[in-house]
Amino acid sequence: MIDATDTTLRASIKALREVVAPALDPDAAQASEQLALVVDALDFLRARVALLEERERFLLEHDLALARAVRAPAAACTPACAAALDDAIARGEDALQRAAARRAEVAEAGAAVAAALRELIRDAATADPAARDAIERETVRAARATITADRAWYLPLGFDPDPGSVPPIEAALAAPE
Amino acid sequence: MGVMDITRGWDFASLDDPPPELIEELRRRYPVERETDRQLVRKLRRRGGAPYAPVSLQELSDAVARMLEDTIDGPFSVSDARWFTGGASKVQMGFVLEWEDGGRPRTDRLMVRMDPAESHNATSKLREFELLRALDGRLPVPEAFWVDDDARWFPYPALVYALIDGVAKPSRGVGANVAGLGTNFGPGLRERLAPQYLEYLARIHTLDLRDASLPSFDVPAVGTTQSALWELNRARRLWEEDRGVDVPLMEVAAGWLERTLPTLDHVSLVHGDYRSGNFLFDEGSARITGWLDWERAHLGDRHRDLAWSTQPVCGHYAEDGRTYLVCGLVPLDEFYDRYSELSGLEVDPERLRWYRVLNAYSMVASTVGSAWRVARLGKTHQDILLARVEGMRGVVLEELRTLLEDVR
């Protein structure tokens, strides 16, 4: 079966550009601005829709890598936090290993890992300063790859002040953990 | 379930209509100025209500007429109503008012600035009104006429003030990004605008407002960390109230900011969004004609403005490709010295660094958190623009990450 998603998006953009835009009242500045934004949003979706699942897995893999990296200093935090981290790691690993896991499941597992990391970092504020420093340092270090992927993901929208330093999205999503 | 349990494990979807106990827990945990608190609570209590309902020019004109019938004597007429685009947070309508003030006929070109159902920056119309009144005659600001703080006449809270002549960016040749960020004025205009830009910043930070009527502003105590804590708590409230995701880097930032709160040495009026795009100038004379967007103004630490103004996203490099220009106007290596000479106030690198991290944290909260939530709930006339702001996610997080790498 042929997936018509891309064709539909292209046809929608064409209709907005060639039929709707010329019919707008030239004095309707907000309508013109918003139409341009809608076209941009559809263009962006065209460029990214095939990569949505890959991106979700990438984010989960990287959050999992961070969770594993802070597991040792997490021992200095409350047992409940450390246990929640273990549970989230197990859930995330399960979602990644099951090829049939839907994108929503992978996203939920990723959200669970991020939530466990949130609680751990908050808990570490009152823990042994050495453990807190180790957790925070690792979190800052690990953020580099996911933020680079964010910059690559959103590059077509034109906000990045240094676009030349951003890798193609395919390369960013292939970055090792 | 206790209140602590609510905030430890909440479902982000519940923030679409937050329960009262969650609102109270956030207030307890992150105390802020009284008026800021009032605005944030109002935002959350109204959040479960209807999305933004489009308002026509006629409806807004009718609201202006109702307000005038209740507040002025004598005849008046409202004409030439038209939309003003630009900006993502307020509905703006310009109009001409013919009326009598103290028996004298007058004609004013005015603007209504009205909140949507929920703005991505929950600010106080009352506060902006008080401040514009207090600054009248001291700085070039719009003359404020009326405020509708509780949406008595308008569909949502609104402010009515005078239009100021001038442009925010050159009409020819060089450009700007969203909301005037990174405006390139070109070498000629730059040379004439830059001294004024610095002089106004110094003047704002050294204004004596002790005799001004600013009842909705709280004054932080000098020699304490209260000012920094209010600003940090405001940013944390926005993040906790609005976001739909966890970002571990934000937790690290919040922890560092809380541990290193700077002490206030001098209470300044802080503009809150001091940058190109927020002043108007006359292209012929290159004179700054007005300072706009005071909605984030507060009494506090000048380093908040200094750090805001020098954000990378607000400036650009000069023609030589090496000299970074603060807001496209002043070379960075001259900026602080010239500011100190003009203001007589020290620039403390430690406090500057703290406010840089705070500003980066706030930018993430605003773009990844508030803009997303407001667009998700259909609360504005510009949801499509706010949805697009998500595209800044990588840029603002990278700024925060780089700063944290340096300070940690």
Residue B3's Cβ-count burial label (10 Å; 0-12, 13-18, 19+) is: middle
pLDDT of residue A101: 82
Percent of chain A at pLDDT > 70 equals 100
Query: What is the tens place of the pLDDT at every residue in B165-177?
Result: 999 989 875 555 5
Distance from CA of B63 to the nearest CA of A (A): 21
Distance from CA of A57 to the nearest CA of B (A): 16
pLDDT of residue A28: 87
Name chain A contacts of B388, Cβ cutoff 8 Å.
37, 40-41, 157
Domain with CATH 3.30.200.20 in chain B: 57-162
For residue A71, pLDDT beyond 60: yes
pLDDT band at B85 (very low <50, low <70, confident <90, very high): confident
pLDDT of residue A25: 93
Query: What is the tens place of the pLDDT at every residue in A140-160?
Result: 999 999 999 999 999 999 888
Domain with CATH 3.90.1200.10 in chain B: 178-407
Q: Does B222 touch chain A (CB under 8 A)?
A: no
Amino acid present at B234 = R
Residue B188's Cβ-count burial label (10 Å; 0-12, 13-18, 19+) is: exposed
pLDDT of residue B275: 94
The Cα B243–Cα A118 span in angstroms is: 13
B395: nearest CB among A33, A34, A159? A159
For residue B179, pLDDT beyond 60: no
Q: What is the number of alpha carbons within 13 Å of residue B244 lying toward its C-beta?
A: 15
What value of ipTM does the predicted structure carry? 0.95
pLDDT band at B120 (very low <50, low <70, confident <90, very high): confident
pLDDT band at B361 (very low <50, low <70, confident <90, very high): very high
Name chain B contacts of A30, Cβ cutoff 8 Å.
83, 85, 381
A136: nearest CB among B182, B252, B392? B252
Query: What is the tens place of the pLDDT at every residue in A74-128?
Result: 999 999 999 999 999 999 999 999 878 899 999 999 999 999 999 999 999 999 9
Nearest partner of B269 among B161, B392, B141, B366, judged by Cα: B141
Q: Does B11 touch chain A (CB under 8 A)?
A: no
pLDDT of residue B180: 57
The Cα B43–Cα B156 span in angstroms is: 12
Q: Does B69 touch chain A (CB under 8 A)?
A: no
- Measured at the CA of B236, the angle between CA B369 and CA B122, to 5 degrees, comes to 65
More confidently predicted of B389 and A99:
B389
pLDDT of residue B341: 98
The dotted CATH code for B57-162 is 3.30.200.20
Give me the CATH topology for the region B178-407: Aminoglycoside 3'-phosphotransferase; Chain: A, domain 2 (3.90.1200)
pTM of the complete model? 0.94
**Mutation to test the B interface, candidates A33, A56, A123, A140, most B Cβ within 10 Å:** A140
pLDDT of residue B1: 34
Name chain A contacts of B245, Cβ cutoff 8 Å.
111, 114
Tally C-beta pairs within 8 A across A and B. Answer: 104
Q: Does B404 touch chain A (CB under 8 A)?
A: yes
